Amino acid sequence: MAENENGSATKRLKTDTENECGDSGELSSESPVSDFEITRILRDGAREKTIFIHGKVKDQDAVVILEKTPIRQDTLSELLKSSHLKLEMKNDVYSTYQLQAPAHLNEIKTTVVCPATEKHVKKYLHQEVFLVEESGEDYRNLTLPYINNQSFSVQWVHNILEKKAEADRVVFEDPDPDTGFVLLPDFKWDQKQLQDLYLLAIVHRRDVKSLRDLTSEHLPLLTNIRSKGENAIRQQYGVPPSKLRVYLHYQPSYYHLHVHFTSLEYDAPGCGVERAHLLSDVIQNLQADSSYYHNRSLAFPLRADDGLLAMFKKAGKL
């Protein structure tokens, strides 16, 4: 690739593989990205240096996702020695610059979905989020009927518990039908490093939907998950309990009781105070009051397109 003195390329460039979206395999001289006309920004992640764009390649809908790559330790020396610096600010011992790096040391990961359906676009579109406060009564009048009507399938959970799927991923199992559980890595964790350790304990009991169903009757189950889950993670990965965040979600993403174990140093999605409940707090609250989670108002976030949010709005609760 050739650049002129101020760094801008003047020619439209080609991809190494020039199979254009929607052209049924016919080779084209244009890349799906250089040919892409932007319609709108779906989501802008300034912190993660990522952007989700909706647009068209010829007449086809497409989504393009750009994400800057992490700074690589193995090419860091080369990066520092071969870049150009523009001074921005100098004050005492501090100075800031804009660094212009050789392109091959500073790539941007690009994902193209083409042709993209409406469902793709909706999936990537930033959705407004609202905090709902659900009383015990709201749960019984609105949320529980909603969950039952939706009849969310938890077949995939039963497949795990029955060893019909993911049997090779199980890290630990306690087979007791009342207090037992299966411990396995969450799909978000690639198991390549401990920094973002993420495991799930899924209980064998099938009669506990969520935090809302828990009473002091379930204390042996909860304390068992805590102690045996922590032990298994210490044995398997060498990570002690003081490095773990152990919690439940409310609302959960599926209504079969499960507990999250994540590395304390990993800013895991869903570990915010508005959705996560520390297992140690849950245990103490049930020890003090068996009906704690039956009666309390619980706050949680819902996306604008969530059917449950519509229920709360219709009932005048938001």
Of 127-166, binders to its own copies (CB under 8 A) are: 128-133
CA distances from 213 to 72, 140, 154, 209 (A): 47, 11, 17, 6
Number of chain positions touching its own copies (CB under 8 A): 109
- Is residue 264 within the footprint of its own copies (CB under 8 A)? yes
> Smaller CB distance to its own copies: residue 173 or 261?
261
Instruction: Restricting to residues 168-187, name those near its own copies by CB under 8 A.
Output: none
Rounded to the nearest whole angstrom, what is the least distance from the CB of residue 235 to its own copies in the complex? 19
Cα–Cα dist 64/106, whole Å: 19
- 30, with CB counted inside 10 A (0-12, 13-18, 19+), is middle
Is 204 catalytic? The answer is: no
Query: Which amino acid, 130?
Result: F
| Rounded least distance, CB 97 to its own copies, Å | 4
Least CB distance to its own copies at residue 173 (A) = 25
We find the least distance from the C-beta atom of residue 181 to its own copies, in angstroms, to be 21
Of residues 122 and 206, the one with the C-beta less far from its own copies: 122
Which residue in 155, 177, 273, 316 binds its own copies (CB under 8 A)?
273
Number of alpha carbons in the 13 Å side-chain half-sphere of residue 36: 25
| CA 3 and chain centroid, separation | 38
Per-residue binding string, its own copies, 19-48, x by CB under 8 A, is x-x---------xxxx-x-x--x--xxxxx
Catalytic, out of 218, 258, 260, 277: 258
188 belongs to the binding site for its own copies (CB under 8 A): no
For residue 151, give the nearest of 193, 196, 209 by alpha carbon: 209
Among 23, 28, 56, 112, binds its own copies (CB under 8 A): 112
Q: Footprint of its own copies on residues 1-20 (CB under 8 A)?
A: 1-3, 5-10, 12-13, 15-17, 19
Residues in contact with 256: Cβ distance below 8 Å, sequence separation at least 6, in sequence order: 154, 157, 202, 203, 206, 208, 209
Q: CB-side exposure of 264: number of CA atoms within 13 Å?
A: 8
Q: Does 299 bind its own copies (CB under 8 A)?
A: yes
At its nearest, how many Å lie between its own copies and the CB of residue 92? 9
**Sign of torsion, CA 205 234 276 124?**
negative
49-108 binders of its own copies (CB under 8 A):
49-51, 53, 64, 66, 68-71, 73, 76-87, 90, 93-108
* 29, burial (CB in 10 Å: exposed 0-12, middle 13-18, buried 19+): exposed
Which amino acid does the sequence have at 263? S
Place of tokens 């790539």: 107
Minimum distance from residue 76 beta carbon to its own copies (Å): 6
Residue 125 near its own copies by CB under 8 A: no
> One symbol per residue from 216 to 255: x for binding its own copies (CB under 8 A), - otherwise; what is it?
-------------------------xxxxx-x--------
DSSP 19: B
In the list 271, 290, 306, 310, the residue contacting its own copies (rule: CB under 8 A) is 271
CA dihedral 32, 36, 40, 43 (to 10 degrees): 30
Kindly list the catalytic residues.
258
